[in-house]
Amino acid sequence: MEFFLSQLQGFGGAFSALVTDPITYPYIVISVFLGIVFGALPGLTATLAVTILTGFFGNKIPLDYALIALLGAYVGAIYGGSYPSILLNIPGTAASAATAMDGHPLAKQGRGAEALGLTTTGSFVGTLIGTAALLVFVWALLLISQSIASPEKALLALFGILLSGTLMSEDLVVKGWIAGLAGLAMAMVGLDPLLSEPRYTFGWSYLMSGFQVVPVLMGAFAIPQIIEGLRQVDPGKVIALKGRILPNLAAVRRHMPTIARSGVIGTGVGALPGVGEDVAGWVSYGVGKSASHDGKNFGKGSIEGLLSSETANNACIGGALIPLLVLGIPGSPPAAALMGAFKLNNIIPGPTIDPSIILRVCAIMVLASLTMFIMGLFTARVFIQILRLPQTVFLPVVLILTTIGSFSVGGGINDLYLMLGVGALAYFMNLMRYPIAPLVIGVILGGLFDETFRRSLLLSDGDLSGFFTRPTAAVLLALNVALIAGQMPVVRRAFAKMRKR
Amino acid sequence: MDIEKLQAELDKDLEMLRARDFWGALALIGCAVFFLWRTSFIPFLGENRAGVSGAEWYNSAAIVPFGIWLAMLLLGLVLLRIAIKAGGAKRAFSSVGLGWNRQEAIRIGSIAVIMGMFIFALVPRVDFILASGLVITALIYGFHAGRLGRMLQAAGAVTLPGIYALSMHFPQAEWNKPHDDDWVVLAAWMLLSVWMLVHDRSRIARSTPWIALLTPLILVTAMAFGFRQNVPNRGGLLFSQIEYHYYVTLRPLWRD
């Protein structure tokens, strides 16, 4: 009890500091607005919103304000994806793919305004649930993570890369692992962290400092999106809204169990390293379908179905920040972009992070969700106008944004070459259905893996037993082995036989 | 019937994907072998470098890269096996099997040329506002209507000034100065805008010149004077004038 009270007290202090600072408001309003716009425009994603804002705000303003801008955009973009899902049947972001299943049929039934109002409420409550989990569990995990040393960190980084590769693969799991390893390989470029030995620099001095995070993020997430989106697409017919968007309290109360369940699921899925909001939305939708008494109507315009996915994807944000802040492992692709912003400010998320940053993150999340809630309920019709904007008009603008964003972070033309190179690679990977998120997570965690793995070996004079004699390391090693073995046909066949018996 | 049709399409997509995976796996294996060879240049088994004892195997800078590329090689072989078993190798030599689409190839080729010229030729050498304005106009004109002819025209409109800038001012020493290449880009942008307005009377076409001018202008000025960050080509035709008037004409107004 004392623990919770002290947590609340710390959070209260951070929240009051945030709301009494007048500079907070322009940042939060503009970033949430931009986030919703990015989410609402099909072809732009939440990851791209956070990535582009990292380029602009990452190291140009104090981290306290940069976090407001980035988290505001993150919360706004995940929510904003619901607009085209409901009104156009086109998910604005991958996170809102499940939302379209019930959101669009509801809009066709003339219940679009009701759907938007409840979606906004679900997203708001979902974000709060995720933030509450972040506030509570992050401290418990931080206490545990104090005992984590190099072997555990190395295994955890590897687990993050492998898990995101496994869960984010649309096609073969092996492709997700290849993407993760490609990211790891990219992180090896430059002077190595222990002996300053140059690796794969090919005599180019720019590569000595390794690949910069922001150009990699911009290249991986923006360039394929621009190439893919620059085509003539029928923008579709936006279904007109009838009635009021503001939901009535009785409806909210009636659906509160679904919202609460989806919030918990979203937070849990978000806490898995590298697994994003889209997976959270689908998992919650699937659980909702079997758990809800309205399950048979899922896909035909069920409010329960809509809330299952839409609450979970916003709750996932808080969950995704738990591994990021506690272990330095991003819980989702936008969290990977957020990690880029931390890196730009020389802050290393993990057990050594300043606790005041965590409290501030929680305070920003609450304020951002409140801003999103107010904007969603009272300015929804403005965002609906944005849906009519063709992507062939805004994607060229995104190209210019990414170019100047990449350039200004490093201040060099080489960063632009890197952005374009990574972009071309990511485009071809997309074409061959390799997931991109594991690549980026590999680039971000590669340095950590290399350093901690080699430090473990250095301290034990090459004795590998440290990876399985330490209890936490042994568990993590078992998880890594299980993850790999679980995809092997021989093991799968054996399990299938066992199940039959 | 519809489900059968959908299934047939999915099967065709999968066949195409496996044919691409065949080539992808070969490229991956080639890459892994090349980088394993490059990794062998990094001291590994207690090698000496310039008379100083190098790393032991367990703290060598090569150990993790070796692991990564060996794993890549292994995964490449697994992918190759999957692709061959699924018939990818059989279809790998036919354009149909690979899913080759001429229209899509022209679209992607045009975008690649525009982006390549923008990043490699124009951004380092030409005023950022002018280069961005030209590229925004070209991309909207070329790709909004989805016509192949327009895509090629757009690519040409960026390529010509790009090649001019590359060929006339290739050395880095000449990048950050106002030059004739800025004027060439400005002329190309004007011509393309006029051409677009003559041939297309839509609302998008009419608003394109404004988007093309205002987007880079606002971004560059916000970056340079708001965030005080470096921006590409400070000596460019327009930006040098903006910067001059900001410091000489405008700033004294509130400084004094």
Q: Give me the pLDDT at residue A223, please.
A: 92
Q: Is 90 exceeded by the pLDDT of residue B37? A: yes
CA dist A130 → A134, A137, A376, A391 (Å) = 6, 10, 19, 32
Say what the pLDDT of residue B114 is. 96
CB contact under 8 A, B119 and A417: yes
Phi then psi dihedrals of residue B210, to 5 deg: -70, -45
pLDDT score recorded for residue A389: 84
Q: Do B61 and A192 touch (CB under 8 A)?
A: yes
pLDDT higher than 70, residue A275: yes
Query: Would the CB atoms of B232 and A407 count as touching at under 8 Å?
Result: yes
User: For A178-212, how does the pLDDT look when each residue is reduced to its tens digit (9 = 90+)?
Assistant: 999 999 999 999 998 888 889 999 888 888 988 88
Give ipTM to 2 decimals. Answer: 0.91
SS3 annotation, A466-493: HHHHCHHHHHHHHHHHHHHHCCCHHHHH
pLDDT average, residue stretch A259-263: 93
How far does B15 lie from chain A, in Å, by closest CA?
A: 12
* Of the listed ranges A478-487, B53-62, B225-234, the one predicted with least confidence: B53-62
pLDDT tens for each residue of A18-48:
999 999 999 999 999 999 998 888 778 888 8
Q: How confident is the model at residue A13 (pLDDT cuts 50, 70, 90)?
A: very high
Alpha-carbon Rg for chain A, nearest whole angstrom, is 22
Interatomic CA distance for residues A370 and A368, integer angstroms: 5
Please say whether the beta carbons of A383 and A32 come within 8 A: no
- Nearest to residue A333, comparing CAs of A342, A343, A345, A324? A324
Digit-coded pLDDT (tens) for B185-214: 999 999 999 999 998 888 899 999 999 999
SS3 of A29-69: the string is HHHHHHHHHHHHCCCCCHHHHHHHHHHHHCCCCCHHHHHHH
Is residue B52 predicted with pLDDT exceeding 60?
no
Q: What is the pLDDT of residues A289-344, one digit of tens each?
A: 888 888 888 888 888 999 999 999 999 999 999 888 887 888 888 888 888 888 88
Asked whether residue B131 carries a pLDDT value surpassing 80, the answer given is: yes
Contact A363, A321 (CB under 8 A): no
> Would you call A5 an interface residue with chain B, using a CB distance cutoff of 8 Å?
no
Percent of chain A with pLDDT over 90: 36
pLDDT at A231: 83
Min Cα separation A476/chain B (Å): 19
Predicted confidence at residue B157, as pLDDT, reads 95
Buried b (16+ CB within 10 A) or exposed e, A329-357: bbbbbbbbbbbbbbbbeeeebbbebeeeb
Q: Is A60 on the interface with B (CB under 8 A)?
A: yes
d(CA B99, CA A392): 24
Chain B hits for A416, Cβ within 8 Å: 119, 123
Distance from CA of B113 to the nearest CA of A (A): 12
Average of per-residue pLDDT across B131-156 = 94
Note whether A415 contacts B: Cβ–Cβ < 8 A.
no
pLDDT more than 70, % of chain A: 98
Residue A490: pLDDT band (50, 70, 90) is: confident
Measured between CA atoms, the residue of chain B closest to residue A457 is: B58
How far apart, in whole angstroms, are the C-alpha atoms of residue A114 and residue A486?
44
Is B219 in contact with A232 (Cβ distance < 8 A)? no
Give pLDDT, residue A10: 87
Q: Which residues of A touch B139 (CB under 8 A)?
A: 230, 392, 395-396, 399
The pLDDT, as a whole number, for residue B1 is 53
Q: Could you tell me how many CB contacts below 8 A there are between chain A and chain B?
A: 163
A458 CB neighbours in chain B (<8 A) are 58-59
**Hey, what's the torsion of the CAs at A333, A338, A343, A348, to 10 degrees?**
-90
Q: What is the pLDDT of residue B48?
A: 64
A126 Cβ contact partners less than 8 Å away, ≥ 6 residues apart = A259, A262, A263, A266, A310, A311, A312, A313, A314, A315
**Pairing mode, strands A198-199 and B48-49:** unpaired
Residue for token digits 């039934």? A109
Q: What is residue B7's predicted lDDT score, i.e. its pLDDT? A: 81
CB contact (8 A) between residue B119 and residue A60: no
Query: What whole-number percentage of chain B has pLDDT above 90?
Result: 57
- End-to-end Cα distance, chain A: 48
Residue B150 has pLDDT above 60, yes or no: yes
CB contact under 8 A, A407 and B17: no
Cβ–Cβ gap B123/A449 under 8 Å: no
- For residue A45, the model assigns a pLDDT of 82
Domain spans of chain B, in order of start: 9-98, 102-255
What part of A 439-458 touches B (C-beta under 8 Å)? 449-450, 453-454, 457-458
* pLDDT tens column, A350-372: 777 888 888 999 999 999 999 99
Q: How much of chain B, in percent, has pLDDT values that exceed 70? A: 95
Residue A142 CA to residue A353 CA, distance in Å, equals 9
Kindly tell me if the per-residue pLDDT of A80 is higher than 60. Answer: yes
Q: How many helices (H) and strands (E) would you count in chain A?
A: 23, 2
The mean-pLDDT minimum among A167-176, B40-49, B155-164, B193-202 falls in: B40-49
pLDDT of residue A293: 83
Residue A54 near residue A214, CB atoms below 8 Å? yes
pLDDT band at B35 (very low <50, low <70, confident <90, very high): very high
Average pLDDT over residues B238-252: 90
Asked whether the predicted pLDDT for residue A445 surpasses 90, the reply is no
Instruction: Supply the pLDDT for residue A128.
Output: 94
- Cα separation, A389 vs A379, in Å, equals 17
Nearest chain B CA: its distance from A468 CA (Å): 17
Confidence of residue B110 (pLDDT cuts 50, 70, 90): very high
Amino acid at B36: L
| Cα-based distances in Å from A118 to A115, A253, A289, A375, B94 | 5, 11, 18, 14, 51
